[in-house]
Amino acid sequence: MLDHTDKEILKELLENSRISMKQLGEKVHLTGQAAANRVLKLEEEGVIENYTVTLNQAKIGYPVHTFINIYTKSTKHDPYLSFLDKHQAYVKNNYKISGDGCYLLECRFPDNSELDEFLTELNHYTNYKLSIVINKRNGLTT
Amino acid sequence: MLDHTDKEILKELLENSRISMKQLGEKVHLTGQAAANRVLKLEEEGVIENYTVTLNQAKIGYPVHTFINIYTKSTKHDPYLSFLDKHQAYVKNNYKISGDGCYLLECRFPDNSELDEFLTELNHYTNYKLSIVINKRNGLTT
DNA sequence: CATATTGACTTGAAATATGAAAGAGGTTGG
DNA sequence: CCAACCTCTTTCATATTTCAAGTCAATATG
């Protein structure tokens, strides 16, 4: 389904999605038009979901990065989920997981006091276990 | 530091980073050039870190999404970290966390058998607790 | 065997976007 | 008040994208 050139294209786009099709073509040994055609196909197939941007979260005012394990008290999850809806500004991801707990909630906060408020309110709906991200490293080299 | 227009720009870029500066300008009520100038400044300030693309992980052959809590046995983390280096294809993020455990490791696998292999090898370096992502939902609406 | 058919790429011309320079308008500080 | 400074706009040369043919190779069809 994906050949080697497609993978190269995806790799380049992961690193810089604003590259021109002409430049992208040069990198993967195609003309700009051929590259553009392949990219279009990848979009249509749903392989490429979205073009986006990674932001420095500290610089946009959300330095406190947390993962919160959620253990819902009741069998009904809707109160918890609508609580999340109310706090979309903080919520980055809410993963429904197997294993310990029901959800793994990834959130960002401007500071600890807002985190504290959030947790206090969260505790009306669920039990939780908090982990704060100290650092994000992908290996020895990074 | 960031005014309202900057935030609008970031919002648009999060949704579509391949938008032309001209179109972006229209969306935030500026000319293309003014928008481009602001974007350039956001890049220089480090607010914008990278332009990238979100891929359908299932369609590129990595459907099994996991979070693995890591509890290192020894005080030396380097063996674990170089183990991660060896398996970069699987590793999406390795967060150093406070709270329970030392790291929260986010990985993707093509199938359960590769996950199994990975865990077996991982167990030489650390104890772990596995969570498999069943679904990713950010609230009632999604 | 000759001939369609298909898919992926290339070419070239027109439409569109980008980037640099010059200018207009508003704000700040001496 | 005036000069300096920002930020935005306008203009125009340059670069990129898009669209319509056209080429080429591989595969299927009579």
Q: The tokens of B27 are what?
A: 């969306």
> What is the C-alpha separation between A75 and B51, in angstroms, rounded?
41
> What is the C-alpha separation between A25 and A11, in angstroms, rounded?
13
Q: How far is the alpha carbon of A28 from chain B, nearest alpha carbon, in Å?
A: 17
**Region B70-99: what's the mean pLDDT?**
91
Quote the strand ranges of B17-81, DSSP E: 48-55, 64-72
Q: Which positions ≥6 away from A90 have C-beta within 8 Å? A: A62, A107, A108, A109, A114, A118
Interface pTM (ipTM) of the complex?
0.87
> Is there a single domain that holds both residue A24 and residue A75?
no
Residue B117 within a domain:
yes
What is the CA B49 to C1' C27 distance in angstroms? 31
Q: How far is the alpha carbon of A82 from chain B, nearest alpha carbon, in Å?
A: 6
What is the CA B39 to C1' D11 distance in angstroms? 22
> Is there a single domain that holds both residue B73 and residue B126?
yes
Residue B120 clears pLDDT 60, i.e. is over it = yes
> Is there a single domain that holds both residue A85 and residue A122?
yes
Q: Which positions ≥6 away from B2 have C-beta within 8 Å? A: A60, A61, B10, B47
Residue A74 within a domain:
yes
> Is there a single domain that holds both residue A97 and residue A124?
yes
At residue A101, the pLDDT reads 76
Residue B54 within a domain:
no
Residue B63 clears pLDDT 60, i.e. is over it = yes
> Is there a single domain that holds both residue A127 and residue A77?
yes
> Is there a single domain that holds both residue B128 and residue B94?
yes
At residue B141, the pLDDT reads 59
What CATH number is associated with residue B10? 1.10.10
What CATH number is associated with residue A105? 3.30.70.920
Which chain A residues 7-36 have CB under 7 A to strand D?
A: 20-23, 32-33, 36
> What is the C-alpha separation between A90 and A68, in angstroms, rounded?
12
> What is the C-alpha separation between A58 and A136, in angstroms, rounded?
13
Residue B140 within a domain:
no
Task: Quote the domain boundaries for residue A92.
Answer: 64-132
Residue A123 within a domain:
yes
Residue B79 within a domain:
yes
Which has the higher per-residue pLDDT, A99 or B92?
B92
Residue B104 within a domain:
yes
At residue A92, the pLDDT reads 95
Three-class SS state of B52: strand
A131 contacts B100? CB cut-off 8 A: yes
Digitized pLDDT (tens) for each residue of chain A, 142 residues in all:
889 999 999 999 999 999 999 999 999 999 989 999 999 999 999 999 999 999 999 999 999 999 999 998 778 889 999 999 999 999 999 999 998 779 999 999 999 999 999 999 999 999 999 999 999 876 665 5
Residue contacts between A and B (CB atoms, under 8 Å)? 191
> Is there a single domain that holds both residue A20 and residue A80?
no
Count of the separate structural domains present in chain A: 2
> Is there a single domain that holds both residue B126 and residue B72?
yes
At residue B140, the pLDDT reads 63
Residue B8 clears pLDDT 80, i.e. is over it = yes
The answer to whether A34 and A25 are in contact (CB under 8 A) is: yes
Residue B96 within a domain:
yes
> Is there a single domain that holds both residue A75 and residue A37?
no
